[in-house]
């Protein structure tokens, strides 16, 4: 009897036998997150946090900037009135009395001036009326128009006195005035009514 020919040699190595009793109860190893996935999650969290912070800053900064623009328009109106005060003082030195109305100073009644332009758009107006009080003091009433709903229709009243001009009168809120026109309050008797802050 002849022996069967030998089997060809198997070139692939066989996996060693592992004793299953050693690994009982141990879960198979888990696949971890890739570095790109972790970076994407961190980036998304930072982006959301950045958008949140930017929103808070915008909510604070935009109203503050708008108030700044509003105060600058009021300041430009005060500058116009200061130049008018000098002219009134010269008129008073020449004539011995305050001008009773706008016409006495050669102004339109009322005298309307621009507070600025943004391109072709008007960014506000100041309206000036001059009066003379029964006490002989000069009065300049400044009314704001087309500036901002916070100040439109509000007034500043400037009254001449022994120590210069008092600008605390009128209905304009203190937070929109220059510091020299904020302190305290004043009430002035005009020929036809009482102008008060």
Task: Write the pLDDT tens digit of every residue in 72-122.
Answer: 888 888 888 888 898 898 888 888 888 888 888 888 877 888 876 665 555
Q: How far apart are CA 142 and CA 82, in angstroms?
A: 11
Give me the pLDDT at residue 107, please.
84
What average pLDDT does this structure show over 169-196? Answer: 65
Q: Give the separation between CA 196 and CA 182, rounded to whole angstroms.
A: 13
% of the chain surpassing 90 pLDDT = 7
Q: Is the pLDDT reported for residue 29 higher than 50?
A: yes
For range 14-29, the mean pLDDT: 60
Span 41-55, mean pLDDT? Answer: 87
Nearest Cα neighbor of 49 from 37, 38, 41, 59 is 41
Complete domains list, the chain, with CATH: 52-195 (3.30.700.10)
Q: Which of 10-19, 39-48, 111-120 has the highest mean pLDDT?
A: 39-48
Per-residue pLDDT at 125: 83
Contacts of 36 (CB under 8 A, 6+ apart): none
Structure confidence at residue 52 (pLDDT): 86
Give the SS3 label for residue 136. Answer: coil
14 confidence band (pLDDT: 50, 70, 90): low
Please name the residues in contact with 74: beta carbons below 8 A apart, sequence gap of 6 or more: 144, 151, 156, 172, 176, 177, 178
Residue 191 has pLDDT above 60, yes or no: no
Q: What is the pLDDT of residue 197?
A: 36
Q: What is the pTM of this model?
A: 0.62
What's the whole-number average pLDDT of the chain? Answer: 78
Over residues 164-187, the mean pLDDT reads 80
Mean of pLDDT values over 147-160? 89
Residue 20 has pLDDT above 50, yes or no: yes
């Amino acid at each position: 009897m002849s022996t069967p020919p030998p089997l060809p040699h198997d070139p692939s190595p066989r996996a060693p036998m592992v004793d299953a009793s050693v690994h009982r109860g141990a879960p198979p190893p888990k696949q971890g997150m890739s570095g790109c996935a972790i970076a994407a999650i961190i980036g998304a969290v930072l982006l959301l946090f950045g958008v949140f912070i930017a929103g808070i800053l915008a909510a604070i900064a935009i109203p503050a900037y708008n108030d700044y623009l509003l105060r600058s328009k009021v300041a430009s109106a005060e500058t116009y009135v200061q130049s008018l005060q000098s002219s009134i003082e010269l008129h008073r030195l020449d004539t011995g009395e305050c001008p009773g109305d706008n016409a006495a100073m050669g102004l339109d009644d009322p005298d309307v001036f621009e507070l600025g332009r943004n391109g072709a758009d008007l960014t506000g107006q100041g309206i000036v009326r001059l009066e003379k009080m029964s006490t002989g003091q000069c009065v300049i009433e400044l009314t704001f128009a087309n500036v901002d709903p916070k100040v439109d229709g509000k007034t500043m009243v400037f009254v001449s006195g022994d120590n210069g001009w008092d600008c605390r009168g009128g209905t304009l809120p203190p937070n929109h005035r220059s510091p020299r026109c904020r302190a305290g309050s004043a009430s002035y008797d005009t020929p036809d009514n009482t102008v008060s802050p």
